[in-house]
Amino acid sequence: MNLEISQLSLTGACKAKSDGLIILVPEGAKLGQDALSLLIKQATSTHDLQTKAGHVLAAYRLKGVATTKIWLVGAGQGTASHVKSAMAAVMPIVKSLEIKNLTVACPFELEVAAIFAFVNAVADGSYAYTSTLSKPKPRQLKMVQLGVVNCNAALQKAFKMAQATVMGVEVAKEWANRPANHATPTALGVAAQKLTHGAKFSCQVLGPKEVEKLGMGSFMAVAKGSREPLRFIVMRYQGAAKSVAPVVLVGKGITFDTGGISIKPAPEMDEMKFDMSGAASVLGVFKSLSLLTPAVNVVGLIPACENMPDGLAVKPGDVVTSMSGQTIEILNTDAEGRLVLCDALTYAERFKPAAVIDIATLTGACVIALGGVRSGLFASDDNLAQSLYEAGELAQDLCWRMPLDDAYAEGLKSHFADVANVAGRAGGAISAAKFLQRFAKAFPWAHLDIAGTAWKSGASKGATGRPVGLLLQYVLSQVKDEKKPPTLSTRRRIV
């Protein structure tokens, strides 16, 4: 899909020739005397068009307008989230009519965050999964022209970044959507190797023998019940001097989570193929890095395996020794994410990182707490928390900070090991984070629980590619040169 941004007034939009024309109409739109302006004036005065974000009014063969299919879409105050709702409302129509060439006119000043919202909504609304279909129907939308009234350098730069972001988002979606018999740990390793071909990249894929040598007893315990061999994937992107401390991204790569011996109930168990969404987001970020080549250093770590019940599987009550030396009593084999992540966090120490961020579909409790709107953000460092929060706002890939009081770790006490892998049901997302924090003392650390945000269930079942946008914005904000990426126009402090 080709995306372009250009200067375009409503008069210009009247002349644009494409298969479909969308006009985003904000409150108090500045209108002229052209055919589209007159239509908007009329339709708003009769209330047939509301400027509420996402309200759609279709028009056809309007005199004085070159494109035959026209949609007026309310864009509220024209903010990023309103642009997102507006495009999300109209894209299903664009998709169902198989529009190939689309023009979208924004006759109001757009902010940088709205550019991200726009590009992401267009990509999301036209995405088509193809991997395992015998007669795949690829994306129909081939060309999108975004017309704005303030086409300045900052918007153009943001538009380029947003395009690279959605390329990464789509890599993440694609891998997360693939079923577990296609997206095996081995397949993820091969994908990482392919993605990191190039001058600034390197990739190492470790197997069971190497992982055993490293002493990753906790990770190995999870993989024990599966016939699929585990993989530990180490990706490196070096865009800055070697001396610059890297950002390390750790993605949970459970390619299928049955729960193991603490087996999950059957309904919706298929959705546990998405339990490698954290890993997929790391792959996605590396895809975007390959397109943007920013001056930063990034390490991606993916512990990948299946969580299966088996005669050889780890059992409730088993005690294992993690790479850190801490022993863990595995009271529930379904709390496996933290068991693979803790060894990856210990491994991260060797990079002397500036920050470590783990990304995981870790707890059902986080879905209860925050739903599908914001990912759970936990951090041992206030600056890191603030930067991640702001990156999320800018990319319209939202998160919300959660607490890490030590009192939440009480339930993790064990009589038979240094720590248990589960506490009670109450505050489950937080006690999971407290478990991880024990292994993340050597660096500024943050944890994103994406259990509610990584995929959608029901009729629109599928991966969202989150939080690639957030992570990429954070990584780009760490570029230490004068050409800083665009920042938020309104800053809100949360810490």
Q: Catalytic residue positions? A: 264, 338
Nearer to Mn ion, 257 or 390 (CB): 257
Q: Which of residues 270-329 bind Zn ion (CB under 5 A)?
A: 275
Of 13, 276, 422, 468, the one binding ligand BES (CB under 6 A) is: 422
- 50 close to 112: Cβ distance less than 8 angstroms: no
Q: How many CB atoms lie within 10 A of CB 383?
A: 11
- 356 close to 348: Cβ distance less than 8 angstroms: yes
* 230 HSE (CA, 13 A, CB side): 27
Q: Which of residues 449-478 bind ligand BES (CB under 6 A)?
A: 451
Q: Min. distance of Cβ 254 from ligand BES in angstroms?
A: 6
Residue 428 touches which member of Mn ion, ligand BES, Zn ion, none, C-beta under 5-8 Å by kind: ligand BES
Q: Min. distance of Cβ 205 from ligand BES in angstroms?
A: 23
Nearer to ligand BES, 80 or 429 (CB): 429
Check residue 411 for interaction with ligand BES (CB under 6 A): no
Q: Min. distance of Cβ 307 from Mn ion in angstroms?
A: 6
Nearer to Zn ion, 275 or 343 (CB): 275
- 320 close to 421: Cβ distance less than 8 angstroms: no
Those residues with Cβ within 8 angstroms of residue 419's Cβ, 6 or more apart along the chain or in another chain: 326, 327, 328, 329, 412, 413, 435, 438
Residue 363 touches which member of ligand BES, Mn ion, Zn ion, none, C-beta under 5-8 Å by kind: ligand BES
Stretch that binds ligand BES, among 177-185, 238-246, 331-339, 383-391 (CB under 6 A): 331-339
Residue 344 touches which member of Zn ion, Mn ion, ligand BES, none, C-beta under 5-8 Å by kind: none
Those residues with Cβ within 8 angstroms of residue 265's Cβ, 6 or more apart along the chain or in another chain: none
Distance separating alpha carbons of residues 119 and 163, to the nearest angstrom: 7
What Rg, from alpha-carbon coordinates, does the chain have? Answer: 24
Instruction: Check residue 411 and report its DSSP letter.
Output: G
Q: How many CB atoms lie within 10 A of CB 445?
A: 25
341-352 residues labelled b (16+ CB within 10 A) or e (exposed): bbbbbbbbbebe
Those residues with Cβ within 8 angstroms of residue 397's Cβ, 6 or more apart along the chain or in another chain: 375, 391, 466, 467, 468, 469, 470, 473
Distance separating alpha carbons of residues 189 and 221, to the nearest angstrom: 20
Stretch that binds ligand BES, among 154-162, 175-183, 364-372, 472-480 (CB under 6 A): 364-372
Alpha carbon of residue 369 to chain centroid: 19
Helical axes 112-126 vs 382-394, angle rounded to 10°: 60
Check residue 257 for interaction with Zn ion (CB under 5 A): yes
Stretch that binds ligand BES, among 133-141, 215-223, 332-340, 397-405 (CB under 6 A): 332-340
Distance separating alpha carbons of residues 261 and 178, to the nearest angstrom: 24
Residue 122 touches which member of Zn ion, ligand BES, Mn ion, none, C-beta under 5-8 Å by kind: none
Check residue 337 for interaction with Zn ion (CB under 5 A): yes
Of 251, 278, 428, 467, the one binding ligand BES (CB under 6 A) is: 428
Residue 451 touches which member of ligand BES, Mn ion, Zn ion, none, C-beta under 5-8 Å by kind: ligand BES
Nearer to Mn ion, 313 or 470 (CB): 313
Place of tokens 């259990």: 451
Q: Min. distance of Cβ 81 from ligand BES in angstroms?
A: 24
Q: How many CB atoms lie within 10 A of CB 132?
A: 11
Stretch that binds Zn ion, among 50-58, 136-144, 252-260, 462-470 (CB under 5 A): 252-260
Q: Min. distance of Cβ 359 from ligand BES in angstroms?
A: 13
Residue type, 355: A
Nearer to Zn ion, 255 or 477 (CB): 255
Distance separating alpha carbons of residues 406 and 23, to the nearest angstrom: 52
Q: In the complex, which residue's CB is closest to ligand BES?
A: 364
Which residues, in sequence order, are bridge partners of residue 205? 233
Check residue 375 for interaction with ligand BES (CB under 6 A): no
Residue type, 52: K
Q: Which of residues 19-78 bind Zn ion (CB under 5 A)?
A: none
Q: How many CB atoms lie within 10 A of CB 191?
A: 23
Q: Min. distance of Cβ 189 from Zn ion in angstroms?
A: 19
Of 74, 337, 353, 465, the one binding ligand BES (CB under 6 A) is: 337
Residues that contact ligand BES, how many (by CB under 6 A): 16
Q: Min. distance of Cβ 21 from Mn ion in angstroms?
A: 47
- 372 close to 463: Cβ distance less than 8 angstroms: no
What does residue 356 show for φ and ψ, rounded to 5 degrees?
-120, 130
Residues that contact Zn ion, how many (by CB under 5 A): 4
- Binding characters for ligand BES, 219-258, by CB under 6 A (x = yes): --------------------------------------x-
Nearer to ligand BES, 190 or 368 (CB): 368
Instruction: Check residue 459 and report its DSSP letter.
Output: G
By the criterion CB under 6 A, which residues form the site for ligand BES?
Answer: 257, 275, 332, 334-337, 361-365, 367, 422, 428, 451
Which residue ranges make up the site for Zn ion (CB under 5 A)?
A: 254, 257, 275, 337
